[in-house]
Amino acid sequence: MTNASPLPPLPRSFRLIVTGGGTGGHTYPALTAIRTLQGRLAADGGALDVLWIGTADGLEARVAPAEGIAFATVATGKIRRSSNPLKMVSPANVRDMARVPLGVAQARKIVSGFRPDVVLATGGYVAVPAGLAARMCHRPLVLHEQTVRLGLANRRLASSATRIAVSSESSLPLLPEAVRHLGVVTGNPIRPEVLSGHADKAVDALGLRGFDRRLPTVYVTGGAQGSQQINDVVREVLPWLLGHANVIHQCGPANAEALRESAALLPPELAGRYHLAGFVGPELPDVLALADVVISRSGAGTLAELTALGKPAVFIPLATSAGNEQAHNARHLESAGAAVALIGEVTGASLRDAVSPLLTDPARRDAMAKQARAHGRPDAADRLVDVILSAASG
């Protein structure tokens, strides 16, 4: 299906239950959808009443209250994955899965009392009880999948869904055949501020006075906590890299001191082109605007932001990501010429070989940027809101 058909007039009030979380990959798309729906309704004189069902120890437990969103918890169980099916039947898995019926009963009581117009599930094991409760209470259930393939929670809930929103056209044929007709491509919602960065603001905010603006700028990031793997391979080729580019390196707070010691050994002309930061906060949109190439992990949120911005990227997937999803994400973009994926053992030499053509050949860099932008969906939040409203109206 598509979401091109006209939507009915917006309701004066709308009741939404959001469920999902555990990590930022499930939490922030949900938050962005909530903000977008609130804005859509407010512009038409309406209001949103929203309740988030999550776990007490997940990221959502901090994010929802901080955003003024009512929050409720339910019992749930976490599946600990293993390539060996026998190891899936572990005491911890059995114990946790025994909690799911209790969680479903708790979620059913919440859904029945709240009577949402729609339940939006964005993945993570906490989504299963609330998603099943939506079906029991005859409430429309919209699933949103951030990665190329359905995650475990969304696979479990697919048969209960009213709509299944996916982030990529390539995900549609991977949906279970029985529910494929429910699929709609929305993209993965990203924070709107990511799209509004200015390169010159990054130069001023970070004091990048030693940067040579005639050279491309590389942004290296391993996520908020940094990545030891990425830090190590970048350190191995740092003098070479700085000979061809300016570098902003977000290394994680715990790793900054060791990398500063290495950077102190750089020649002054190279050291001036290297900016090391434990964490990049509000200035991130401006850093992304300045970056010509990004070296990073390949989580779903990162892919959504970089493709929306049209940024060439070299991805070093997290090998331990659930279902090896980061490798699938990276390969998907690489196959389209929109990124380079370094899978398996990554060395300084393999990173240099991957980055070098992008730094020395502007035409190649521009071609990859164009392909990345073709896969980006900066309007994903609005598309997902369309799906939510459509599901509510039947």
| Residues 165-213 pLDDT 10s | 999 998 999 999 999 999 999 999 999 999 999 999 999 999 999 999 9
pLDDT band at 2 (very low <50, low <70, confident <90, very high): very low
Q: What pLDDT was estimated at residue 1?
A: 46
In angstroms, the CA 266 to CA 13 distance is: 60
Mean pLDDT, to the nearest integer, of 150-179? 94
Q: What pLDDT was estimated at residue 80?
A: 46
Q: What pLDDT was estimated at residue 324?
A: 82
Q: What pLDDT was estimated at residue 322?
A: 66
Q: What is the DSSP string of 55-97?
A: -TTSTHHHHHHHTT-EEEE---------SSHHHHS-HHHHHHH
Task: For the chain, give the mean pLDDT.
Answer: 92
C-alpha dist (Å) from residue 307 to 81, 146, 290, 303: 29, 14, 15, 6
Q: What pLDDT was estimated at residue 75?
A: 92
% of the chain at pLDDT higher than 70: 91
Chain center to CA of 360: 30
Mean pLDDT, to the nearest integer, of 57-67? 94
Residue 120's contacts (CB-CB under 8 Å, 6 or more residues apart) are: 16, 17, 18, 19, 20, 30, 33, 142, 144, 388
**CATH classification for the domain delimited by 192-374, as one of 3.30.70.100, 3.40.50.150, 3.40.1390.10, 3.40.50.2000:** 3.40.50.2000
**Residue type for 380, please?**
A
278 CB neighbour count, 10 Å cutoff: 18
Q: What is the tens place of the pLDDT at every residue in 100-109? A: 899 999 999 9
β-strand pairing of 118-121 with 47-54:
unpaired
Q: Would you say the CATH fold of 192-374 matches that of 13-189+379-392? A: yes
> Which residues share a beta bridge with 54?
73
Q: What is the tens place of the pLDDT at every residue in 8-45? A: 678 789 999 999 998 888 999 999 999 999 999 999 99
What is the assigned CATH class of domain 13-189+379-392? alpha beta
Mean pLDDT, to the nearest integer, of 44-64? 95
The answer, yes or no, to whether residue 154 has pLDDT greater than 90, is yes
Q: What pLDDT was estimated at residue 79?
A: 57
Q: CB of 105 within 8 A of CB of 136?
A: no
pLDDT band at 374 (very low <50, low <70, confident <90, very high): very high
The answer, yes or no, to whether residue 81 has pLDDT greater than 70, is no
Backbone region of residue 46 per phi and psi (left: phi > 0; alpha: psi in -120 to 50; beta: other values)? beta
> Which residues share a beta bridge with 260?
none
Domain ranges of the chain: 13-189+379-392, 192-374
pTM of the shown model: 0.87
Kindly state the helix (H) or strand (E) to which residue 384 belongs, with its residue range.
helix 380-392
In angstroms, the CA 34 to CA 17 distance is: 10
The answer, yes or no, to whether residue 82 has pLDDT greater than 50, is no
Residue 271's contacts (CB-CB under 8 Å, 6 or more residues apart) are: 210, 263, 264
278 or 7: which carries more pLDDT confidence? 278
Q: What is the tens place of the pLDDT at every residue in 298-348? A: 999 999 999 999 999 999 998 877 668 899 899 999 999 999 999 989 999
Q: CB of 224 within 8 A of CB of 339?
A: no
